[in-house]
Structure 1
C-alpha cells in the first residue's frame, strides 16, 4: 500500500467534479466549504469542471484531463469533489492509469459515485483513499467519537473512531435555504449491530464503497477486490458497503454479484452502512444483506456510519484496521501501514 503523506496547513486542496457538478443555486454552499478550508490554512484550487446544468459537470474528456492534472501536480495534496453523481464510471477508460501509477499518491476524498474512480486507485495502484465525506459536507461539526476527514488526512498516528450512537433519521439539509449550515440534525439513537450478537475482535485491510456504484465495477479490472484480497490475504479484508437509494430487491442482487465476484473470499468482517434506502414489502434492506451474505460465515456489522446517512465515518481504503464490537465498545482503529 502507498499512502499520501500527511496533509499540512499550506498544502493545496483541489476541487473538481469528476461526476456531477453544482447548480448556481447551490454554489454558495460550495463557496462556504472552500472558505472553511481556507480559514484552516489550506490553499484551495477550484477547477473548471463544476457545471451543474447536466448530469455531469463537463464532457468526460475535460473532466478526465482536470482530474489527471490535479493528480499530476505535486503541489495538490488532496482532491475533494463537491459530491458524487451518477456517471463517473465514464472516466475509467479516459484516465491514464499507467501514468497515475508513477505519481506520488494524493489524498482523494469522497463517496457515492466517487467510488467509481477512487476504488481503482486502491485495487489497481495500491493507493489509500478517504471514503465517507464530500466537500459539501466538510464544514459540518463532527460528533463525538468520529474524526473529521482533515484529521484523518493529517494523522501521523493510528486513528481511533467510535460510534457516536446518534444519526439523522431522514433527508439532508437544504443547502439552498441555508448554505452555511454546520450543525447536523442527529435525531435518532442507535449504534452498530453485530448480526448474531456476541463480540467481535478482528483486523483486516479496508476496502469497499457505495453498493450501487462498486457492483458495476465488480466484473471489470477496476473492481477486482478478489485479486486485492489475495494480495493481502495475510492481513485479510474488512469490506465496507452501503446502500444509497436502490430498493432492497436491487441491493440484494448487487450484493450477490459482489459475493460471486469473490469480494468476500478473504474477508474477516463485513461492515454495512446505515441506510435510508427503501425496503420492499417482502424484503427489507437488512434481509437483503443476510440473504446475499449470511451464508458466508463472516461476521456482519450493520448500521455503521459510512454512507448516505449522517454522520460519516471516514475510512481509508487499504488501511490496516482493527475492529472491536461488543456490548462495551463499537470501535475501529486505522493504521496507514
Structure 2
C-alpha cells in the first residue's frame, strides 16, 4: 500500500466533478466551501466540470475523465475533493490513466466511492472515504467532519484515531442553516453491534457506498482477491458500507452477490453506517439483514457508525490497518498506515 500525505498549510485542493456537478442555483455552495478552505490557509482550484450538470452527470464522460486525470497528474495539486457524489462516476473508470496516478489523496463518499474503490484496488494507493467538498462550507466544522484534515496529514507508518460523534443529523434541510455548523445535529449517536460479545474488530479497511461499488463486481475494477493478495499480504478485510436509499431486500441482494463473488472469503468483519434507507419489505428489516450476514459469515457486524449520508462522518482510508472498538461514548476507530 502507498499512502499519500497532505500537509497542514499552503496546500492546494483540486475540485473536480467526475460524477455530478452543480446546477447554477447551487453554485454558492462551491463559493462558500472555497472560502472556508481559504480561511484555513489552503488554496482551491476549481475545475470547469463543477459548474455544470446535465443528464445526471456534470459533463460528457471524456471531459470528466480528462479533468480528473489532469488534476491527479498535476504536481501543484496536493489533494482532490469532488463537490459531492451523483449517479455516473462508473462511466469514468475506463478512461482513467491508472498507471500514471501518483500517491495523492482523493476524498469523498457516495458515488465518489466508486472511484476510490477502483483506484485503491488497481494501484494500491490509499483513498479516503469521507466528507465531500460542499460539506466544508460552514464557518465551523464539527469534530467528526474536521478529522479529515488529521487523517490526510498522517504520515505513512503512523496511527490516527477518530471517536464517535455525540450527535448526528437525521434529515437534510438545505433551506435553513444552523448558526455554527452546516448540519442539523438532532439525534444521539450510538455505534451498535449485532452480537454484544463482539465489540472489537480489526482488519484492512475497504468499502464505500453499497449501491455504487456493487456494480464493480465481475469487472476489472473489482478484483478484491488479487488486491488482497498483492497489496494486503492476504490480511483479512474489514468491510465498511454506507447505504443511501436501498431497501432492506436490495441491501440483502447486494451483500449476497458480494458473498457469491468471493468478496467476503477472507473478511474479519462488516461495519455499516447509519442510514435513512433500508426500507422494510414484507417485515424484513435492515436489522434482519445485518443479523442474516452475521450468522452467514460468522464475523462481527457493527452498524450505525459515523459513515455516509446521515452526517457527520468519519474519514476511512481504504487499505489502512484498522481497529474499531464499541465502548459507548468512547467508541473509536484507530487506523495505521502500514
- TM normalised by structure 1 equals 0.92
Is residue 55–residue 86 contact of structure 1 (8 Å, CA) maintained in 2? yes
Is residue 226–residue 261 contact of structure 1 (8 Å, CA) maintained in 2? no
1:124 aligned partner: 122
Aligned pair count reads: 332
Is residue 194–residue 294 contact of structure 2 (8 Å, CA) maintained in 1? no
1:299 aligned partner: 300
Task: Tell me the C-alpha RMSD between the 2 structures.
Answer: 2.1
Gaps of 5+ in 2: none
Matches within 5 A, 1:1-337: 1-50=1-50, 51-100=52-101, 104-140=102-138, 141-144=140-143, 147-156=146-155, 157-170=158-171, 172-174=172-174, 178=177, 182-231=181-230, 232-277=232-277, 278-326=279-327, 329-337=330-338
Shift of 1:58: 0.6
Is residue 115–residue 209 contact of structure 1 (8 Å, CA) maintained in 2? yes
Is residue 49–residue 57 contact of structure 1 (8 Å, CA) maintained in 2? yes
Q: 1:185 to 1:324 in 2, by over 3 A?
A: same
Deviations 1:268-318 (A, max 9, x none): 121111000022242112212333453101101011111111111111111
Shift of 1:5: 2.0
Return 190-199 or 139-148, whichever deviates more: 139-148
Q: 1:324 to 1:219 in 2, by over 3 A?
A: same
Gaps of 5+ in 1: none
**Aligned-partner Cα distance in 1 for 2:228–2:298:** 17
Deviations 1:80-116 (A, max 9, x none): 110000011011111122333xxx3111010111112
Is residue 159–residue 335 contact of structure 1 (8 Å, CA) maintained in 2? yes
Deviations 1:93-142 (A, max 9, x none): 11122333xxx311101011111211111111011111021001123544
Deviations 1:311-330 (A, max 9, x none): 11111111111222245742
